[in-house]
Chains A and B, each alone.
Chain A
Amino acid sequence: MADATLQHNAAAAHGVAGEYEAPLFGAYSKKVGMWLFLASDSLTFGALLFAFSYNRIYTAWPTPFGKDSIINATVMTACLLSSSLTMVLGVFAAQRGDRAWTRLWLLATMIFGSLFLVLHAKEWTHLIHEGLTLPGFPKSIEHGAGDYAKISAGVPQFAATFFGLTAMHMLHVTIGVIYLGVVAFRKWFLPVLGIIWLAGFFLIPPDNVFHYLINVLLIGLIVVSVILFLKPKDYDAHDVEVSGLYWHFVDLVWMFIFPLVYLMSTKV
């Protein structure tokens, strides 16, 4: 990243026309654009986390998460942290022009991200089956009537803020995985995305909320297809670095969601 900045500065200093516009804040414009997007997106999550904290202050907040949930969330956190490391290694590989290793590191990042999503989906499904639910969710046959059902009825803010915050984060992780897939594999990623969507749609039963949420992949497939059709290009080290910024941001947000949502609601 900084290499690119250096090269650009050197080009500018010698009056050579560069690939990018004149550097703003010492960085190329794509990177500044991503930073500004992330700054605005941090306010989205900031507002959600503030709203969560606000609710938590004035409500007798339940603390239902037991050992299994905490272990699951801890493994999810480790996955995201490890994905950030593989992403950094991918950026370095891209900067030295090693395409094979760039793809491998990006693939490793995507695998960690996908593992995070699968574990999160498993957690959601478990909680919904136990009775933690929202009015719009499909009714599960095995719908529980235990502590979580009482929480949904007595403190609806708990389910609303839990599902709202984590769904927003899951959406970001999903977009991140698709983004990295496109940067790493370009149009070759599209059939893979299509197959994952089809498999998810037909294999996940209709009484599971992910039967509907999996359609995010279809929307992603359409959007990415249009982008690749309108602007087919070979993504370079700058693109890998910018996608890395997005990915690290997703990791960063989880560093606040995990303690606030999970650890502060641990069953004593």
Chain B
Amino acid sequence: MHDVAKHDDSKGQYFWVWGALLVLTGVEVWLGYRQVFEPVRMLEVLLVLSVIKSALIIAYFMHLKFETALMRWMLVISVFGLFVIMYFFFFPDAGRILRLGVK
């Protein structure tokens, strides 16, 4: 809130964010269509790009960057923590199946 007046006045930054999101999407499409990496590495790269894009959307378009620190951390930590729990639920079994070679 502290920076509100300043950030509200500069609409240009939203056009920059929009442009950056379009460019990142273009990079994703190029990587995906040209199959630049092998699948697992490709998944990692695409996920990193997706996380960057979602961070831009959350920070600027959803204005979380301009909320109080308490609000920011409450949301980020709780959602991230729950995704980590979900990860531990799903993936050990998927890895086990992969090792056993079950198709």
Contacts and interface: CB of A to CB of B under 8 A. Distances in A.
A147 B92 CA distance: 32
A97 interface: no
A262 interface: yes
Contact of A47 (B31, B86, B91, B97): B86
Q: Which DSSP category, helix, strand, loop or mixed, fits chain B's interface?
A: helix
A193 interface: no
Contacts, number: 146
Interface residues of A, number: 54
A251 B60 CA distance: 13
A54 B61 contact: no
Interface in A224-268: 244-245, 248-249, 251-252, 255-256, 258-260, 262-264, 266, 268
Given A58-B103, A85-B14, A248-B61, A264 B70 contact: no
Q: Which DSSP category, helix, strand, loop or mixed, fits chain A's interface?
A: helix
Contact of B66 (A2, A32, A268): A2
Contact of B21 (A60, A81, A245): A81
Interface string B26-56: 0011011101000100110011011001100
Given A54-B90, A81-B22, A264-B43, A255 B53 contact: yes
Interface stretch (A38-46, A182-190, A205-213): A38-46
Interface in A73-93: 74, 77-78, 81-82, 84-85, 87-89, 92
Contact of A259 (B21, B28, B97): B28
Interface string A8-24: 01000000000000000
B103 A60 contact: yes
Given A26-B68, A252-B54, A1 B63 contact: yes
Contact of B1 (A5, A35, A77): A5
Contacts of B4: 2-3, 5-6
B103 A26 contact: no
Nearest to A247: B61
A1 B4 CA distance: 9
Nearest to B64: A35
In the A-B complex, the 10 residue pairs with the smallest Cβ-Cβ separation, listed nearest first, are A263-B32, A26-B68, A2-B4, A25-B71, A259-B46, A58-B97, A85-B18, A57-B94, A248-B61, A255-B53
Interface of B: 1, 4, 7-8, 11, 14-15, 18, 21-22, 25, 28-29, 31-33, 35, 39, 42-43, 46-47, 49-50, 53-54, 57-58, 60-63, 66-68, 70-71, 74-75, 78-79, 82-83, 86-87, 90-91, 93-95, 97-98, 102-103
